[in-house]
Amino acid sequence: MTSILVTGGTGTLGRPTVARLQGHQVRVLSRKPGPDRVVGDLTTGQGLALDGFDIVVHLATSQGKRDVEQTRNLLAAASGVRHLIVMSIAGIDRIPLPYYRYKLEAERLVAESGVPYTVLRATQFHNLVDKVLSAQRFLPAVLAPSVTLQPIAVEEVAARLAELVEQPPLNGRAPDIGGPERRTVVELARLWKDARSVRRAVLPVRVPGKTFGAFAAGDATVDGPEYGKITFAEFLR
């Protein structure tokens, strides 16, 4: 039985990933003790003991600059790990968001560490699109940037991570994965509006700058065949 440690195992992607890995000996890294947990802090490095784990699936994210330090601390403790699988985001090398620069730096640290690894990049999750639209509940209209996304279900990303667990390290990137549809946020917002019985109008907006220009050009989507099968409309149902 393979011994696996999952960072970020209680998060949006972590929970379905841990469920997919049942059949292996799976533990979740956490700052708080609990069943099937290993107590440690990625940000400070305190308590990070990876001895005895064959595979580490690194899903934790600070949503910011701390991702770099967390990755550095993880790598410092990962000398005996046979396979480090790192979750990342499609388009981070083309879209000039500050957070994406940190994710790209974390990928670089992993590549130069000497630890056998695989990086998986995925497009935005359905959950994220839903969250961003839901956060506008106090606005008079639903603001929808005129950019193109290819959202994917977290369950399908979890399934791909489980596949990578069964494969040897690539020491590089696995093919990027995305959902079954490329849609503008305006289209996604209208689907969301109907599914959530929202009466407010969807207002398309255009934002100047390189970041939104990259999104509008489809840089957050992936090339090749779609991996995901669940559409945003199906997620909303």
pLDDT, tens digit (0-9, with 9 covering 90-100), for 175-184: 999 999 999 9
pLDDT of residue 49: 85
Do residues 151 and 124 lie in contact, with contact meaning Cβ atoms separated by under 8 Å? yes
Residue 63: pLDDT band (50, 70, 90) is confident
When mean pLDDT is compared across 87-91, 226-230, 232-236, the lowest value belongs to 226-230
Task: Report the sign of the C-alpha dihedral through residues 224, 211, 158, 26, in that order.
Answer: positive
- Which tens digits make up the pLDDT trace of 132-164? 999 999 999 999 999 999 999 999 999 999 999
3-state secondary structure of 183: strand
pLDDT category at 102 given cuts 50, 70, 90 is very high
Average pLDDT over residues 47-61: 94
What does the pLDDT average to over 194-205?
95
pLDDT at 207 exceeding the cut of 90:
no
Say how many domains are in the chain.
1
Rounded CA-CA distance 49/45 in Å is 9
Output the domain CATH number for residue 176.
3.40.50.720
Statement: residue 1 has pLDDT above 80 = no
Cα separation, 159 vs 78, whole angstroms: 24
Position 223 scores a pLDDT of 87
- Model pLDDT, residue 182: 95
Distance separating alpha carbons of residues 181 and 152, to the nearest angstrom: 9
Q: Give the count of beta carbons closer than 10 Å to the beta carbon of residue 231.
A: 18
- Provide the pLDDT for residue 71: 97
Q: How far apart are alpha carbons 98 and 108 in whole angstroms?
A: 16
pLDDT over 80 (residue 8) = yes
CA–CA separation, 198 and 78 (whole Å): 48
Q: What pLDDT, on a 0 to 100 scale, did the predictor assign at position 112?
A: 97
Considering only CA atoms, which of 12, 17, 10, 16 is closest in space to residue 34? 10
Quick one: pLDDT band at residue 224, thresholds 50, 70, 90? confident
When pLDDT is cut at 50, 70 and 90, the band that residue 225 belongs to is confident
- Provide the sign of the torsion angle of the four alpha carbons 221, 223, 228, 232, taken in this order: positive
Confidence of residue 104 (pLDDT cuts 50, 70, 90): very high
Residues constituting the chain: 237
What was the pLDDT predicted at 205? 94
For residue 195, give its domain range.
3-236
- Mean residue pLDDT of the chain comes to 95
pLDDT value of position 226: 80
Q: Measuring CA to CA, which residue among 28, 74, 25, 83 is closest to residue 54?
A: 83
